[in-house]
Amino acid sequence: MTTKKIWILAVLFGTFMSLFVYVLTASSDNSSDVTTYSELETDEIEATLIEENNKEMLEIESGKRAITIPVDEVQSVAGLITPGSYVDVISILPIPVGEETTSRILLHGVKVLAVDKTVVVEEDQQNVPYDKITLEVTPEEGVTLAFAKEAGVITLMLIGVDDEGKDQLVEVSFEDLVKGKVPK
């Protein structure tokens, strides 16, 4: 085959392929595939998105703050704490030089805002493991909780639904435990 014949075949092949691609794209009218929304449909979609986002927003009481603390399965009462629950925060502080280890109820009746990033627990989300809990506290309680978390161990006690909410400030030392003194 000569060079001239190769060039003619290349031009013919290129022209044929160009026509083939043109016929494929022109025969299917893609202009109807573009979906357009009317203003009403757009407003409905936006309203649905806003409603879904509002379900996931924290509702923090005026004058309070949200603080997240890490928890494990034991500290989170076997994962039974859910958003909307109330807990007591217990602080166990290590032995400073010349003193003894103490365990005390640091904060009483604290509202749980979220577990991990879940604000509202659906039925199918029961017993999903989590490792963070967000609590609603005053700024002073938040600072106290942050300090206690860094200085010792924090654990939570779930308050029953029918609990009267007595503000019990209980403190137990290592010495009390050794002597068998248990607060009543």
On whether the CB atoms of residues 65 and 101 are closer than 8 A, the answer is: no
What average pLDDT does this structure show over 20-33? Answer: 66
Q: What is the pLDDT of residue 49?
A: 55
What average pLDDT does this structure show over 10-36? Answer: 72
162 vs 153, more confident: 153
How far, in Å, CA of 151 to CA of 97, rounded? 14
What average pLDDT does this structure show over 131-147? Answer: 90
Instruction: Enter the pTM of the model.
Output: 0.60
What average pLDDT does this structure show over 103-124? Answer: 80
pLDDT band at 106 (very low <50, low <70, confident <90, very high): confident
How far, in Å, CA of 152 to CA of 126, rounded? 30
On whether the CB atoms of residues 76 and 156 are closer than 8 A, the answer is: yes
pLDDT band at 44 (very low <50, low <70, confident <90, very high): low
Which residues does residue 93 pair with via DSSP β-bridges, in sequence order? Answer: 102
> Token match 């009462």: residue?
77
